[in-house]
Structure 1
Amino acid sequence: MGSFETLIACFLLLSSLRNSFAGHPNVVFILADDLGWDDISLHGSQEIPTPNIDLLATDGILLNNYYVQPICTPSRAALMTGRHPVHLGLQHDVIVWAQPYGLGLNETLLPQYLKTLGYSTHMVGKWHLGFYDKEHTPTKRGFDSHLGYYTGCEDYYDHTWGFTKQDWGLDFWHDREVDRSAFGQYSTEVFTSEAERVIAEHDVSKPLFLYLAQQAVHSGNPGNKVRLQAPWKYVKNFMGIKSEERRVFAGMVSALDDSVSNVTKALHEKGILNDTIIIFSTDNGGPANRQDYNDACNWPLRGSKRTMWEGGVRGNGFIWSPLLENSGYVSEHLMQIVDWVPTVLEAAGFDMSKLPPSLDGLSQWKALSRHESSPRKVLLHNIDPINGDGALRTTDMKIVFGGGDTERYPGWYEPEEALIRSPSKRPSSTACKPWLKPCVFNITADPCEYYNIADFHPDILQELLQKVDEFNQTAVPPRNVPSDPKGLPINNNGVWGPWR
């Protein structure tokens, strides 16, 4: 696959080509799935080198204060709409396979905005925003093409999901047609090849928007005995990792890193890299402590996927482009995944006065490019009225409350072969059990959430609770509905796809 040396040569060439682009820039958004904070070497992981991700991040802008939703569907909805899941009815859990609902059809998605500017829009990979009827599928939501799958996870090689004969089915689509041609092929490589094809065949008279939503590094089909999957050519490079699960997981991350390299080289070979913005993000924190049959790591952050702890919501992310006025720095700009819609649109030359006032996202383009202060001062992580958990952050302070997975995964889950151990004891006066009463942290000073200061600063606690209540007043009820047996593969020719 990719060569780190080739990518370096590419950037050396670019160093003399940094001129502003008069037209609409190309935008490539790469979304990783379940990638933990400590799963890339850029954040100090000594187990898994990710040279290609690291190079783009360090040459661009590493987003060190960047937040996502704690789980798949809400993050993807926020990314596509620029609206918070509490305003979309997608604040609770994910869309389970046969549930007949999705991201509301009244919402305008990022590719739909970009098409008004003449963009060609293509999606590759995971959707997870509803598929019970064709109107909810990608090519009906602003994308010119889609190769990938609709559900939340599946086997990396046979592209199926299920536990029983009733719900075991294929989920692999080319536009709106079932695609069986990828059987036996590793999904990370299939999706990378498709992204390369889209770039190579792109009509350069139009700007390109490519959304590459990789399956990696989510666990595979939970109905199989083997849930973590990677080609041997990657796994063999990590034989020094004792844990078999973590070893295979490392291979999955390495394949993802090569994908980033190959997509970047495809842009260079097409001659459009210099006019392109590359954005990389995870959709949520990593499922640590064997959560969801995975072996991700968010060390030294607290918690896991699905939680309100930093390990669940602080995300890996960067933006790279020669079009940035300033780059090569670590950004402490407070930023959230809802901010990408207005950020991308402003960079693309969209008339920002035409954006609806219901948008929750704030454009970070000028702040990042000019290295100015972030426009975001308050950030709602979530309010889940069913599980009862939630969190909110201001510039420095964060409140965490409620139970759910925040109660189930409250720990600091170290790398299995950690060289540095966390303190074994924490002051009892700072103990935090948000399922009993809200906790407050100074996240700027205490990003690992060791010291609960709620009892010492009741004024700050009340201020944060008031802000939570203000958001709650604008929230809409969750859209979740029970599964429909008619949507099971046994009733649909053995596939997961639209049934209404």
Structure 2
Amino acid sequence: MGSKFGSMLLLLCSSSVSLSQKPPNIVILLADDMGWNDIGIHGSEIPTPNMDALAYNGIVFRRHYAQPSCTPSRSALLTGKYPMRYGLQGRPFSSNKKEHLPLGIALMPQILKRRNYRTHLVGKWHLGYTTWPHMPTRRGFDSFTGYLNGYSSYYNGIHYEPPSVGLDFWSNETENWPLACGKYLPELIGQRAELIIKDHNKNHKEEPLFLLVASNAPHAGGDRPFQAEYPPSRSNATDFIIDPERKNLADIMRYLDDTLGNLTTTLKSEGMLNDTVIIFLGDNGGPSIDPKYGYGNAASNFPFRGTKMSTFDGGVRVPAILWKSGLDASPRVYDNLFHMVDWLPTLNSATGGDVLDGLDGVDQWAALSGMSADTPRKELLVEIYDEESSWGYLKDNFKYVKSFGNSSGFHFTNDYWSPHPDPAKYRSEEIQNSPVAKALGANIDAQTLSDLRSNLMVTPSCSEGEQSKATFHDCSVDGCLFDISKDPSECNDVSETYPDVKKELIDRINSYLAEMVIPDKPLPNTPNSRNFFAPSSGETARSIKFLVGFLSMLIYLSR
């Protein structure tokens, strides 16, 4: 009895922070539209040495799930609740509509402020700005530098979504397009995040830091083909990639990877690294193809079926890595199911916060920190997109998918399998010499790194012929059941073999459908008189005194 009590006491002391102890800093780097196979550690031909070094020294999530698109996924991260609870299920927000995450829902920065955190958002918001209370600075963030809509041009701070074209870059509640004009956006976002870390250490070091770096990379810019969004410089490290679109993606990914390296290096130089939790995440599957909107970025979700917007794993299974000083330093693969909604209760636990009620998310900190062998989560709601009658549910190794119908504009996302990546030598020396490896003081063994990569690479479960056959098997009426432990590529419907399992998962879906909130029909949205996308209530935005509307349109039209 005494031994059991001692173990429980150790767990309680180790899995969270005591009230008298300063909670850890939290830095999250969130990639935008990155595919499962756009990171080296998963087997990609794209070199990502800093991400791989973080994986080598931290925890890699094998079964991390997100929502199939930007807005729902970000809302799940910040609320700890499935988007269907508050009407944000399905598609991402459009700048042509006044849409928003409802007020009255506590967000991650607001909850962390209970523990005296300084909270900052750099990059993409995409959770609505109908009125000023919907702005990120009114929803828990002490500062915001970035853009409000779903994407932005890589060089000029313009958001392009016909019929609307306008400016979209902010410093807190000030329209600040000049800050973005002429800058390469992934680089600018990283630099502003570094400045926040330095300022925090100089002026607020007694308080913990929460920094969400929501990069635009590698999301397409929207106003021209993705391959035209080439970075200001490129590395010969991607010369071997034959496909020009994949090569361009690889060059843009280098800037995202550099952001991780620079953030880690800055934390180290400021003496904050050992008190920081670093998390790298993808927000949804990559849009490998996109005939509907043209935002495809040549991402690879290999070997999974589907793309962004799809309920198949290619749309919802994303890269995720966590590092914290004091956790098991050897490479560790986390095999438990994890969903984007789990981050809020998990980080709340890691910081010593009070238990949060009413969430769909599950606290997995004890399991992540190695203090519990329990399996925190055995099932999750993959998606409900009621407008398209598409949804999915996952329990243990079985996944039920009701896919988009043939008449849906998203049908193309159902039946795409990314091709096998180009063969490439894995450059372990680049990972060993990366800024992340140096900052962490990691002595990376090439063989251990190779073994970790081999462990994380998922073998496709069907041939091209079987993929073609699967496209003719309709999952849009009664849905399909897959055993993803044996069939990760989701080709073989096992509904007839396991009818009781299928019924159970459909019943679970129906219980969520009964609780689903149907969103209000939004009003139209247009840029304001200064050609900025901005809140439209009575308050007036502060603006940098330039003829920004005229100049930006002149630049846009002259390209």
Structure 2 letter corresponding to 1:206:
E
CA 135–452 in structure 1, closer or farther in 2 if over 3 Å, else same:
same
1:488 equivalent in structure 2: 526
Answering whether residue 306 of structure 2 is matched by residue 341 of structure 1, we say no
CA contact (8 A) 1:304 1:312 kept: yes
Contact preservation (8 Å) 1:109, 1:141: yes
User: Could you say what secondary structure the match of 2:386 adopts?
Assistant: coil
How big is each residue's C-alpha offset from its partner over 1:279-316, in whole Å with a ceiling of 9 and x where there is no partner? 11111000013562321110111110000110000010
* CA-based RMSD: 2.2
Following TM superposition, by how much is the alpha carbon of 1:362 offset from its aligned partner in structure 2, in angstroms?
Answer: 0.5
2:267 corresponding residue in structure 1: 267
CA deviations 1:327-371 (Å, max 9, x no partner) are 52111110000000000000001011xx23x21101111111116
**Aligned positions of 1:117-156 closer than 5 A:** 117-156=115-154
1:449 equivalent among 470, 479, 490: 490
Is the contact made by 1:60 and 1:327 (CA closer than 8 Å) also made in structure 2? yes
Tell me the percent identity.
Answer: 37
Query: How many matched pairs?
Result: 471
* 8 Å CA contact retained: 2:25, 2:208: yes
Deviation at 1:477, TM superposition (A): 1.0
CA distance in 2: counterparts of 1:327 and 1:394, whole angstroms: 29
Contact 2:69–2:90 (Cα < 8 Å) also in 1 = no
Q: 1:81 aligns with which of 56, 79, 82?
A: 79
After TM superposition, give the deviation of residue 478 of structure 1 in Å. 2.7
Q: Is the 8 A contact 2:99 2:522 kept in 1?
A: no
The AA in structure 2 aligned to 1:140 is R
**In structure 1, what is the equivalent of residue 299 of structure 2?**
296
1:426 paired with 2:466, answer yes
SS in structure 1 at match of 2:179: coil
Counterparts in 2 of 1:477 and 1:402: CA distance versus 1, 3 Å: same
Q: Secondary structure at the match of 1:162?
A: strand
In the superposition, relative to structure 1, how do residues 402 and 303 fare at CA in structure 2: closer, same or farther (>3 Å)?
A: closer
- Please give the alpha-carbon distance, in whole angstroms, between the structure 2 residues aligned to 1:279 and 1:38: 18
Secondary structure of 1:425's aligned partner = helix
Preserved contact between residue 98 and residue 132 of structure 1 (Cα < 8 Å): no
Q: How far does residue 406 in structure 1 lie from its aligned partner after superposition?
A: 6.2
Counterpart AA for 2:419? E
TM-score by length of 2: 0.80
- Counterpart for residue 392 of structure 1: 393
Does 2:56 match 1:36? no
C-alpha distance after superposition, 1:24-45 (max 9, x if no partner)? 0000011100010111111001
Task: Confirm or deny: 8 A CA contact 2:184 2:232 kept in the other structure.
Answer: no
Residue 212 of structure 1 aligns to a residue in which SS? strand
Q: CA-to-partner distance for each residue in 1:171-204, whole Å, 9 max, x for gaps?
A: 0000000112221111111111111100011021
Structure 1 distance, partners of 2:375, 2:273, is 27
Q: CA deviation at 1:237?
A: 3.9
For the 8 Å contact 1:37–1:298, the answer to whether it is kept is: yes
TM-aligned CA deviation for residue 449 of structure 1:
1.0
SS in 2 for 1:338: helix
The amino acid across from 1:374 in the alignment is T
Q: C-alpha displacement at 1:223, in angstroms? A: 2.6
Decide whether the 8 Å contact of 2:47 with 2:237 is kept in 1.
Answer: no
Pair 458,157 (structure 1): closer, same or farther in 2 beyond 3 Å: same
Alignment partners' CA distance in 1, 2:213 and 2:417: 31
Identify the match of residue 178 of structure 1 among 175, 180, 198. 175
Find 2:418's aligned residue among 408, 413, 437: 413
Deviation at 1:483, TM superposition (A): 4.5
Cα shift at 1:407: 3.1
- Secondary structure class of the residue paired with 1:460: helix
Separation (CA, whole Å) in 2 of partners of 1:91 and 1:497: 23
Shift of 1:225: 4.8
**Secondary structure at the counterpart of residue 79 of structure 1:** helix
CA distance in 1, matches of 2:284, 2:471: 27
Q: Secondary structure at the match of 2:180?
A: coil
SS at match of 2:281: strand
Contact persistence 1:40–1:49 (CA under 8 A):
yes
In structure 2, runs of 5+ residues without a counterpart are: 1-16, 425-458, 538-559
| Cα 1:493–1:430 shift into 2, 3 Å | closer
1:230-249 equivalences in 2 (<5 Å): 230-234=230-234, 236-249=236-249
Q: Is the 8 A contact 2:47 2:238 kept in 1?
A: no
AA of the residue aligned to 1:132: T
3-state SS in 1 of match to 2:363: coil
Point out the more displaced range, 381-390 or 414-423: 414-423
CA distance in 1, matches of 2:421, 2:366: 41
Q: Report the TM-score, using the length of structure 1 for normalisation.
A: 0.90
- Structure number with larger C-alpha Rg: 2
